[in-house]
Amino acid sequence: MKPIKIHQITHLPEEVLTLEKEAVAEGFRFLTRLISEWHSGTNRFNAPGECLMAAYSNQQLIGIGGLSVAPYCKSDTARLRRVYVTPTARNQRVGQALVKALVAQASLHFHKVRLSTDTSGGDAFYLYCGFMRIEDVHATHIMELVNA
């Protein structure tokens, strides 16, 4: 794998449609929701502290993920959303690098980051990234941030 570059983005790259097709083939619909919400203006990851990041290798989009203000929480909490890495780039620390960049951004504005996942692979991945499981109807994992 070539070096990974992670950038904050303000527009959806066209290549996100390729990632969406891969995600749908795996049974995941959250990139479809990302694209739909982006185009409708429902969520552009542009509120204070929010961001959308993309991971690239050799100028090819290989991952994406966002950070938004967490609904159902105090304003000091962010929500990690729509994190996806193409299958060919998995197990090469792309997801970990993407989550690390999103958490670093979150630490500038928030005290906690929450997320929801419904797969055992997602659970194991987020535990590996430093999140802890929680019992909450709106989230499955949390990370307390020390830099906020």
Q: Mean pLDDT over all residues of the chain? A: 95
Residue ranges of domains in the chain: 4-105
Alpha-carbon separation of residue 53 from 66, 72, 96, 145 (angstroms): 6, 23, 13, 19
pLDDT digits (tens, 9 = 90+) for 5-60: 999 999 999 999 999 999 999 999 999 999 999 999 999 999 999 999 999 999 99
The topology under which CATH files domain 4-105 is: Aminopeptidase (3.40.630)
- The rounded Cα 22 to chain-centroid distance in angstroms is 16
- Per the CB < 8 A criterion, the answer to whether 13 and 62 are in contact is no
pLDDT recorded at residue 148? 52
Q: Give the phi and the psi of residue 105 in degrees, each rounded to 5.
A: -65, -45
* Mean pLDDT score, 74-90: 93
CA distance linking residue 145 with residue 141, whole number of Å: 13
CA distance linking residue 22 with residue 7, whole number of Å: 21
**Residue among 38, 20, 18, 17 at smallest CA distance from 28:** 20
* Mean pLDDT score, 99-124: 96
Q: Which amino acid is at 71?
A: P
Q: CA torsion 20→23→28→32, rounded to 10°? A: 0
- pTM, two decimals, is 0.95
Tokens of 48: 């204070």
Residues 6 or more apart whose CB falls under 8 angstroms from that of 51 comprise: 8, 45, 66, 67, 102, 105
